[in-house]
Amino acid sequence: MIAQLRIDDRLIHGQVALVWTKELDTPGIVVANDNAANNEMVQMTLKMATPTGKKLLIRSVDDAIKVFNNPKGKNMRMFALTNCVADALKIAQNVEDIDGINVANVGRFADKSEGETHQVGSTLMLSDSELEALKELTKLDVPVFQQVVPSNPKTSISSMLKK
């Protein structure tokens, strides 16, 4: 069961490692990212950023979906991370048990080759394709919100898109 699926450009960093892992109180983190799953340097960096005592799985998006749907992990709370909306959408469309999707930090470091970006919030700068994926995400039966740190209020992504 996914306690939270967080979309964050940087995957694991200080806020995630020190604040969110304590807030969500999950035994482990699952990074669902094709690049990380195939890049030893990225894997090393993510392992170094993982808090002591937390388990870390780094999987491709498709393999992460298999992990989330595995009956053995049905009762295990997991904190899932991906770095783009399209990957989160794929996970959300293929995994039933997700408590919430936190669209935290997206697009600030993105490749600008896709053209103009749309600023949806102070930490959300989306390409056309990511914006469409975000709209699709809000149509699913799971809460989709932005909350950079737990002390911030949750802001509905649907309300942000209406502005």
Sequence-distant (≥ 6) Cβ neighbours of residue 28 within 8 angstroms: 54, 55, 56, 57, 76, 78, 79
pLDDT digits (tens, 9 = 90+) for 24-69: 999 999 999 999 999 999 999 999 999 999 999 999 999 999 999 9
* Model pLDDT, residue 94: 97
* Model pLDDT, residue 119: 86
Distance CA 113, CA 124 (A): 17
Please say if 13 is a catalytic residue.
yes
For residue 110, pLDDT over 60 is answered with no
Q: How many domains does the chain have?
A: 1
Check 13, 22, 66, 154 and give the catalytic one.
Answer: 13
| Whole-number average pLDDT of the chain | 92
* Model pLDDT, residue 159: 92
Range ranked top by mean pLDDT from 70-74, 119-123, 136-140: 136-140
pLDDT band at 107 (very low <50, low <70, confident <90, very high): confident
Q: What is the DSSP string of 112-150?
A: GGG---EEEETTEEE-HHHHHHHHHHHTSSS-EEE-SST
Mean pLDDT along residues 71-94? 94
Range of the domain at 66: 2-162
pLDDT digits (tens, 9 = 90+) for 126-151: 989 999 999 999 999 999 999 999 99
Q: What CATH code is carried by the domain that includes residue 146? A: 3.40.35.10
